Structure 1
Amino acid sequence: MIRLLGPGARLCDGYRRREILRIGGLGLLGGLGLPDLSRADDLSAPAPAGDGFGKAKSCILLFLMGGPPQHSTWDPKPDAPAEVRGDFGPIATTVPGLSLCELLPHTAQVADKLCLLRAVSTGDNAHSSSGYYMLTGRPHQPKNFENANPGPPNDSPSIGALLGRVARADGPMPPSVTLPMRIFNTDGSVWPGQDAGFLGRAADPWLLNARPTPEGYRIREIDLPAELDPARLGDRMELLDRIERRLDSQALAPEVAFDEHSRRAFDLLRSNGARRAFDLEAEPRSVRERYGETPFGQGVLLARRLVEAGVRLVQVNWYRGPDEPPANPCWDSHVAESSRLKDVLVPPTDLAFSALIEDLDRRGLLDETLVVCMAEFGRSPRLDPNGGRGHWGSVFSVALAGGGVNGGQVHGSSDQAGAYPRDGLVRPEDLTATLFHCLGFPPHSEYRDPLGRPHPISRGEVIHAIL
């Protein structure tokens, strides 16, 4: 069944295009939301200038929803008091003098490929508003707003949506993909900063609900019903063309009419080569095991396959599954942090992240693929009586690799308690500026929204020291 993103735009007669395509038994290949496919328009970019510019052809963004503690991941504090450093010590890496938390033994072996930003700050201690800042490079208005939802004035496009806006995608693959689900608040509502915002729904990244099942790794949006003969897709495409011509004759607005984005969806489904990119069964068992046969690990492996197939940005979310404990779901370790980190959170991340770096390097893709491992914030500097840590946006860490970033280095530092930046402060807008710089888009160049208003790609500064 194919459901590529949300509810879609409503036609002037009150019917959604999805509903029209269900008429006559079409079922839109099982429910494809054509109006939601991402739109890729050109941006006239100035001539390249500066180090690392344009080295990355694609980006894989791993988002550890909930906020990992910097002390027990990227920024251990072995000389701090026990209530600050936590229960885990440092481990040596392949880079002399660089230590990681001992829970990251596999990642320690690829440290020479990593760049650690240890002084990232949002100044925001709320999951959804700080997450909006990290995912868009724009601070939420106001900060520290928990259970925030999308909508003005907080409707800046996500990194993936903006990349889809300024980078043209060739072939059937979308410019940006999010998997395996959106990040949502405790009340079930969706965080802001994950869609195209003021660019409109047509520019949203494709959302793929991809999960391991007893029958294997399945992607609901790509798996065609067994009873559907792929040859019939041509007939349905012809019907789509007839509907489009009818809509054009009614002088509908361009954003409502069917266009190349719907055709890309059909092209993807009709192309065995494109659909193979989504088939993890094609990977050797040893590779799948190396990434870890967990939802996160297999999602990271799928991200590698998608960038190989031409997707420009894949965001893999550590999502909130049905079995997550209510008191500390995902990385939101308010209670018993040590056991959560050791038994549930860090080992799958260590396995998948290190496998991705090794795999990209072995395939000769690391130099042209920017890998970013980040979250909405970090954790408070001291363990509380429940053995957990609170939300902390004052300082935390982000790990980068490939795509024009020099490996084996640390940029910035936090103070002795891992509480505040000491030097090398990085704001989210600086991170997005650096990301777009590596992808070949000068951050201060402009794009235009549907009303023709100009916007800079980023209001931050490129972190040239790491390139």
Structure 2
Amino acid sequence: MLSFQANSTTLCDRITRREWLRVGGLGAFGLSAGSLRSASAAQPAATGELAASFGKAKRCIVLFMLGGPPQHETWDPKPQAPTEIRGDFGTIATATPGYHVGELMPQTAKLTEQIAVLRAMATDDNAHSSSGYWMLTGRPHSPKGQENALPGAPNNWPSLPAVVRHLKGDHTSLPGAIRLPEEIWNTGRIVWPGQDAGWLGDHADPWLVTCDPNKADFHVPDIGLPVEISPERFSRRNALRNFMNEHVPSIANTPVKRWASWQHKAVELLGSTGAQSAFALDQENAAIRDRYGRNRFGQSVLLARRLIEQGVSLVQVNWTRWKDDENVAPAWDTHAKNAERLKNALMPPMDQAYSALLEDLSERGMLEDTLVVWMGEFGRSPKINASGGRDHWGHCFSVALAGGGVRGGVVHGQSDRQGGYPLDGRVEPQDLSATVYHCLGIDPETTIRDPFGRPLTITTGQPIRAVL
């Protein structure tokens, strides 16, 4: 289903905000039309050596690997280290001379001339929630090392997708930023902070599409009229809404005015064939669907490609738990049986979908102006534990960038012999967010205003020049 993520704030009549935003209830009352908040600052072009990469990306896809993918078996193998460090797998040569990746990435290895790898990303935070907050927003969590952290002040900085939507706006009936196939959460369904617009406001919230695009009957019902509402009935409801907007000025003074832009967007969405087509995966060539992988992640990545084709500026695909995952090692959180999980459940579908996306975008002439970010909240510990797993590790891990504005065939940063700490080229999440903004044509020094009207720069980081 399509979810409008928001807190359970209630209106004066005790109806929750979420209920007001449900598309099926569009005709309950007329809401005055409103416009999305405009950008708070100009976005000047970069100058000097960074000018060529500024704004090269028209859109962005973020692939977020919940749990923390291991740097040793992916982008930063340590074949000369002892067995308890290097793990059970060898390495394979890539298309980039002298660079090797883990042997479980055979398809990705062929594409490294299009990829820039950051091998010294660091948060020094070993908690999923708080390290993830920093990676998702570019702002460190207060305090660090807090597991099961909840959304809310003081940790309510807007997520990167929210900032992008706020500054770039919505170009079509679809929102400027979308997350799928579900939000990121810890055991107990504890949702991480840093996934929504925070204090920036609901107008900038990246929409959440909770779905499984791999299901045979996949569809998103909320982008079309419910079966019990005919087009004629909807037209009458919309006419009533317009009438009330024009002839009942007192509505402008009610609390419901705050949600006007959401209802206006929902009306647009219902009438948009482009939006409905974007979600119609059954219209995609079967060979392309097979190429991405017939699983939830693969089809979600394919859906992301279809959404950016329809004008969405940023799509974040979350690799979250699969139905057979156990709490001891869910998703990429391989505390136990690291080698088995990687070989059988994690690396093959990731390698397939990630490589398919890069190849598909390239063949469509879209990779040059589409930024693709591969990341997680942290990495895994250098030493394999007694359960055959790797534990949380925020001191040094890897992130990969490809596409618009990024120089491929680059490996930036170096970890020590155990893959545990940076030796050089250390970067932090605010530098990653600054790089994404830069590639999307947003000056990292752009300011947005908090609820008190104070101008705050969208990031404190600097674009990573070595990969641009």
Q: CA deviation at 1:28?
A: 1.9
2:150 alignment partner in structure 1: 149
- Please list the CA deviations of residues 400-428 of structure 1 after superposition, one character each: whole Å capped at 9, or x if unmatched: 00010001110111111000001101100
2: CA distance, partners of 1:464 / 1:69: 25
2: CA distance, partners of 1:54 / 1:21: 33
2: CA distance, partners of 1:294 / 1:154: 34
Q: CA deviation at 1:253?
A: 6.8
User: Relative to structure 1, is the Cα distance of residues 89 and 220 closer, same or farther in structure 2, using a 3 angstrom cutoff?
Assistant: farther
Residues 1:10 and 2:10 are matched in the alignment: yes
2:450 alignment partner in structure 1: 449
- Please list the CA deviations of residues 277-299 of structure 1 after superposition, one character each: whole Å capped at 9, or x if unmatched: 11111110000000001100000
2: CA distance, partners of 1:255 / 1:168: 22
CA contact (8 A) 2:166 2:203 kept: no
2: CA distance, partners of 1:91 / 1:315: 29
CA contact (8 A) 1:395 1:418 kept: yes
Segments of structure 1 that go 5 or more residues without pairing to the other structure are none
Letter in 2 for 1:426: V
- Please list the CA deviations of residues 156-187 of structure 1 after superposition, one character each: whole Å capped at 9, or x if unmatched: 00001111111122221101000011101212
CA contact (8 A) 1:38 1:206 kept: no
2: CA distance, partners of 1:247 / 1:232: 22
2: CA distance, partners of 1:408 / 1:38: 43
Q: CA deviation at 1:9?
A: 4.5
Q: CA deviation at 1:274?
A: 2.3
2: CA distance, partners of 1:246 / 1:395: 61
Q: How many residues were matched structurally?
A: 462
Further displaced range: 428-437 or 438-447: 438-447
CA contact (8 A) 2:178 2:206 kept: yes
1:44 alignment partner in structure 2: 42
- Please list the CA deviations of residues 421-462 of structure 1 after superposition, one character each: whole Å capped at 9, or x if unmatched: 011011000000111011111111211134322110110011
1: CA distance, partners of 2:82 / 2:261: 59
User: Relative to structure 1, is the Cα distance of residues 231 and 414 closer, same or farther in structure 2, using a 3 angstrom cutoff?
Assistant: farther
User: Relative to structure 1, is the Cα distance of residues 47 and 109 closer, same or farther in structure 2, using a 3 angstrom cutoff?
Assistant: closer
1: CA distance, partners of 2:350 / 2:245: 45
1:28 alignment partner in structure 2: 25
Counterpart mapping for 1:122-133 below 5 A:
122-133=123-134
- Please list the CA deviations of residues 45-102 of structure 1 after superposition, one character each: whole Å capped at 9, or x if unmatched: 1233223101111110000000011000111111111110111111111111111111
1:326 alignment partner in structure 2: 327
1:184 alignment partner in structure 2: 185
2:74 alignment partner in structure 1: 73
1: CA distance, partners of 2:114 / 2:367: 9
Q: CA deviation at 1:319?
A: 1.3
Letter in 1 for 2:44: P
Further displaced range: 232-241 or 392-401: 232-241
Letter in 1 for 2:169: R
1:102 alignment partner in structure 2: 103
Local SS of the residue matching 1:216: coil
Q: CA deviation at 1:326?
A: 1.2
2: CA distance, partners of 1:404 / 1:423: 23
Letter in 2 for 1:113: Q
Percent identity of the aligned residues? 51
2: CA distance, partners of 1:429 / 1:325: 32
Segments of structure 2 that go 5 or more residues without pairing to the other structure are none
Residues 1:264 and 2:265 are matched in the alignment: yes
CA contact (8 A) 1:413 1:422 kept: yes
2: CA distance, partners of 1:92 / 1:17: 53
User: Relative to structure 1, is the Cα distance of residues 2 and 99 closer, same or farther in structure 2, using a 3 angstrom cutoff?
Assistant: closer
2: CA distance, partners of 1:231 / 1:74: 56
Counterpart mapping for 1:212-223 below 5 A:
212=213, 214-222=215-223
2:306 alignment partner in structure 1: 305
2: CA distance, partners of 1:81 / 1:182: 38
Further displaced range: 316-325 or 191-200: 316-325
Q: TM-score, normalised by structure 2?
A: 0.92
1: CA distance, partners of 2:416 / 2:27: 54
Letter in 1 for 2:196: D
1: CA distance, partners of 2:281 / 2:110: 26
Local SS of the residue matching 1:217: coil
1:409 alignment partner in structure 2: 410
CA contact (8 A) 1:56 1:404 kept: yes
CA contact (8 A) 1:115 1:399 kept: yes
Further displaced range: 332-341 or 2-11: 2-11
2:86 alignment partner in structure 1: 85
CA contact (8 A) 1:119 1:421 kept: yes
2: CA distance, partners of 1:71 / 1:247: 64
